[in-house]
């Protein structure tokens, strides 16, 4: 709290200028006070301490000024903020003395801060120059805080709007990527055992079509058109065709009848077939003109084509059986294996497979899911070698869950076999 300038010389500087008779007395008091008032801060609250001397003529002048001001300065404290209210008269010689005292006190105003907001408490009469100065100081402090708060609010809103726009744009583009249909990729895979007569044999690999409530008949039609445009020698559908029963999605799968390839179309189950009634779907795709390979193989010109059930079928006693599919074959012939999940590659290596064609991973589907796919699978997408066996993983033609792909576009891959023999 501010100590009274009347009794002990430590009060508001307003009292030092309220001499009873003339301005000369107040000037002397102000000078004797060493320049008016010194401002100090304790605990974040500004206090005004008068610098008037407690002895000599200055002390007497200060006391006379206090009496002429009608009691000096009143001390008030509200909400922890110190305010100084002048008691000087508004007319006569005392008014002039108060004005001089206010000037000596540095404008008659003490600046205080409460809750980070500046407040100005006038140290002079409620009328005249001191009141105007206090009002101007208060407005200046408020005006300075308002633009800063407005800038922070603007920046926060701009960041929120920008983030929303980026998210919406990403989801929109990812949805468009799926609904426009798969793009065609082409790779060449050399096989040491492939005879020259089979050089250039093209297999269109499609996986993870994921027919369901969102991706329906129109999606199937887009996939079929993309495959047929490649004019392949053979079509391999490597699992996860559907997310639902034949009763619900039979009509959506109907365009598969239009698939065309010189050596036919083949199908192996994926894990989602076992969630949707695998036996019924195996029968249905056969009706649509595709040949299911359930742990079996067929001989084609230049190589053997084998297929194994998905590992999800193990819960129903229908898991992959490499011995049944590949156990008694002629290993001098090249072999191509259709298997939905890449994780069976190590069994394929043991069985002497030359090339395994898989899907399942979606390439991660949505970034950063690509990193998860890489951790969960030996190969997330593309071609890699494991010993004498090569593994190719397609990202698939559809999407699971939300029909969105970001950083992993859907594809149909044309794998061209190349002979290394001369």
The whole-number pLDDT of residue 166 equals: 85
276 C-beta neighbours (distance < 10 Å), count: 21
Distance separating alpha carbons of residues 191 and 388, to the nearest angstrom: 10
Distance separating alpha carbons of residues 181 and 404, to the nearest angstrom: 12
Distance separating alpha carbons of residues 182 and 199, to the nearest angstrom: 26
Task: Report the run of H or E that residue 202 belongs to, with start and end.
Answer: strand 202-206
CA–centroid distance for 349 within its chain: 41
Distance separating alpha carbons of residues 340 and 307, to the nearest angstrom: 9
Task: Report the run of H or E that residue 344 belongs to, with start and end.
Answer: none
Q: Strands, E, within 90-138: which ranges?
A: 109-114, 117-122
Location of structure tokens 């065309």: 260
In 254-317, which residue ranges form alpha helices assigned H by DSSP?
A: 271-276, 278-287
Distance separating alpha carbons of residues 396 and 181, to the nearest angstrom: 11
Per-residue DSSP letter, 414: E
Write out the chain's pLDDT in tens, 422 residues.
Answer: 333 333 333 333 333 333 333 333 334 333 333 333 333 333 333 333 333 334 444 444 334 433 433 433 333 333 333 333 333 334 444 444 434 433 444 443 333 333 333 343 334 344 556 556 656 665 655 666 777 888 888 888 889 998 898 878 888 888 888 989 999 999 999 999 999 999 999 999 999 999 999 999 999 999 999 999 999 999 999 999 999 999 999 999 999 999 999 999 999 999 999 999 999 999 999 999 999 999 999 999 999 999 999 999 999 999 999 999 999 999 999 999 999 999 999 999 999 999 999 999 999 999 888 899 999 999 999 999 999 999 999 999 999 989 999 989 999 999 999 999 97
Structural tokens at position 206: 């499609």
Distance separating alpha carbons of residues 230 and 235, to the nearest angstrom: 10
Distance separating alpha carbons of residues 187 and 185, to the nearest angstrom: 7
Distance separating alpha carbons of residues 354 and 386, to the nearest angstrom: 10
For residue 12, which of 81, 80, 65 has the smallest C-alpha distance? 65
Distance separating alpha carbons of residues 211 and 241, to the nearest angstrom: 6
Q: 93: exposed, middle or buried (C-beta count within 10 Å: 0-12, 13-18, 19+)?
A: middle
Q: CA dist 117 to 95, 112, 148, 150, 360, Å? A: 31, 9, 12, 15, 61
The whole-number pLDDT of residue 422 equals: 78
């Amino acid at each position: 709290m501010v100590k009274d300038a009347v009794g002990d010389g430590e009060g508001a500087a307003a009292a030092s200028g309220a001499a009873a008779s003339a301005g000369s007395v107040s000037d002397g008091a102000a000078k004797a006070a060493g320049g008016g008032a010194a401002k100090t801060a304790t605990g974040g609250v500004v206090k005004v301490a008068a610098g008037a001397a407690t002895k000599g003529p200055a002390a007497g002048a200060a006391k006379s000024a206090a009496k002429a001001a009608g009691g000096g300065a009143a001390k008030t404290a509200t909400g922890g903020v110190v305010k100084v209210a002048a008691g000087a008269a508004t007319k006569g010689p005392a008014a002039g003395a108060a004005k001089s005292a206010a000037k000596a006190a540095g404008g008659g105003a003490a600046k205080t801060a409460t809750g980070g907001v500046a407040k100005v408490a006038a140290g002079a009469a409620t009328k005249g120059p001191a009141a105007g100065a206090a009002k101007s100081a208060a407005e200046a402090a408020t005006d300075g805080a308002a633009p800063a708060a407005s800038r922070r609010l603007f920046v926060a809103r701009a960041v929120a709007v920008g983030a929303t726009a980026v998210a919406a744009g990403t989801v929109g583009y990812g949805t468009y990527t799926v609904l426009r249909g798969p793009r065609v990729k082409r790779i060449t895979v050399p096989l040491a055992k492939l005879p020259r007569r089979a050089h250039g044999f093209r297999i269109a690999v499609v996986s993870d079509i994921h027919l369901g409530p969102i991706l329906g008949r129109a999606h199937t039609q887009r996939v079929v058109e993309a495959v047929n445009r490649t004019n392949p020698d053979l079509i391999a559908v490597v699992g996860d065709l559907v997310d639902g029963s034949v009763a619900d999605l039979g009509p959506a799968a109907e365009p598969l009848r239009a698939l065309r390839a010189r050596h036919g179309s083949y199908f192996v189950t994926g894990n989602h077939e076992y969630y949707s009634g695998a036996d019924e779907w195996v029968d249905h795709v056969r009706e649509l003109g595709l040949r299911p390979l359930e742990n079996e193989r067929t001989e084609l010109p230049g190589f053997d084509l084998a297929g194994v059930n998905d590992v999800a079928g193990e819960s129903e006693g229908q898991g992959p059986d490499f011995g049944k599919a590949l156990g008694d074959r002629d290993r001098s012939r090249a072999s191509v294996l259709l298997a939905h999940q890449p994780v069976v590659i190590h069994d394929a290596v043991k069985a002497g497979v030359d090339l395994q064609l898989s899907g399942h991973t979606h390439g991660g589907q949505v970034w950063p899911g690509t990193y998860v796919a890489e951790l969960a699978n030996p190969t997330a997408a593309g071609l890699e070698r494991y010993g004498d066996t090569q593994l190719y993983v397609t990202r698939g033609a559809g999407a699971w869950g939300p029909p969105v792909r970001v950083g992993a576009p859907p594809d149909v891959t044309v794998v061209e076999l190349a002979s290394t023999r001369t």
